Amino acid sequence: MSHLFCFGLGYSAGVLAPRLKQLGWTISGTARTPEGVEALKRSSYQAHLFDGRTRDDALAETLATATHVLQSIPPDEAGDPALLVYGNDIAAAGTIRWLGYFSSVSVYGDSGGEWVDETTLANPGSDRGMRRLKAEIAWSKLGTDSHKAVTIFRLPGIYGPGRSAIDQLRAGTARRVFKPGQVTNRVHVDDIATAVEAALDLRDGTHIFNVTDDLPAPPQDVIEYGATLLNVPCPPATDPTDAGLSPMARSFYAESKKVSNARMKSALGVNLAYPTYREGLKAIAGL
């Protein structure tokens, strides 16, 4: 029986999990809080608390029965938490044959608005991107050393129900940040799940896929389109240097690139449910 263990069974992995459960998979994973663990248990998942630092024997026992492992917890200054705490357990588990890692297109750095794909040399321009690249390398090495397939999913900005321009506009928290020439990709959470599901049978070595939409676009266009859908006033333009933006948000606007998803489509046969932000926002808005 197939068994998926998710480090960080949250927003993105939480869309994939019920799909696989319906197909007969066992689902287990971690949450950061006791409340999160209880929520996972209510979905009939095996759930464990993981603070990113502390090893738990019960978690290791569940992990040892998995066939697939998906890591969605971002790395910090110390490195990838799942690898630091449970790397040896993962390597030693004979049942585990597939490792998936949610990385970021930040590993490419800034291309000045030009296209990048998986053959583009990674050149992170931020601490966040460098941490992601180091984690990719570490997961690939673990897979090679333990003879497990590794699939790296490079993700752009993730949106979906509850986390979108539509939700921000309805809550009155939307910002229309404008930087001349800025262009980025994004991806609907449902399409991430589709890409991962399509990759679960990959074997032999490390596979890297950009999991993005078809339409790189300026971030302000997304907010403007959402306001049009809701027939509400569009927020005023805000400069990325606005002190109200977090350091992570400001670093996002320091890079501009168009990310190709051609390999994902050709190698995995993925058909996006939401090929652009327009289809995604319409669905979230209920239109």
Closest CA to 184 of 158, 208, 164, 160: 158
- Residue 158 pairs with which residues in a beta bridge? 187
Q: Which residue do the tokens 């049942």 mark?
A: 95
Domains of the chain plus CATH, in order, are 3-159+187-214+258-273 (3.40.50.720)
Residue 114: φ, ψ to 5°: -85, 165
| Token duo for residue 28 | 């287990």
Q: How would you write the pLDDT of the chain (287 residues) with one tens digit per residue? A: 899 999 999 999 999 999 999 999 999 999 999 999 999 999 999 999 999 999 999 999 999 999 999 999 999 999 999 999 999 999 999 999 999 999 999 999 999 999 999 999 999 999 999 999 999 999 999 999 999 999 999 999 999 999 999 999 999 999 898 888 899 999 999 999 999 999 999 999 999 999 999 999 999 999 999 999 999 999 998 888 876 777 777 777 889 999 999 999 999 999 999 999 999 999 999 98
Closest CA to 28 of 3, 53, 11, 49: 3
Q: pLDDT value at position 267?
A: 98
Task: Considering only the C-alpha atoms of the chain, give the largest distance between any 2 of them, rounded to a whole number of Å.
Answer: 57
Q: At residue 71, what is the residue type?
A: Q
Strand pairing report for 68-71 and 149-155:
unpaired
pLDDT value for 252: 79
> Residue 242 has what pLDDT?
76
Predicted pLDDT at 243 = 63
Q: Identify the helix (H) or strand (E) that includes residue 60.
A: helix 57-63
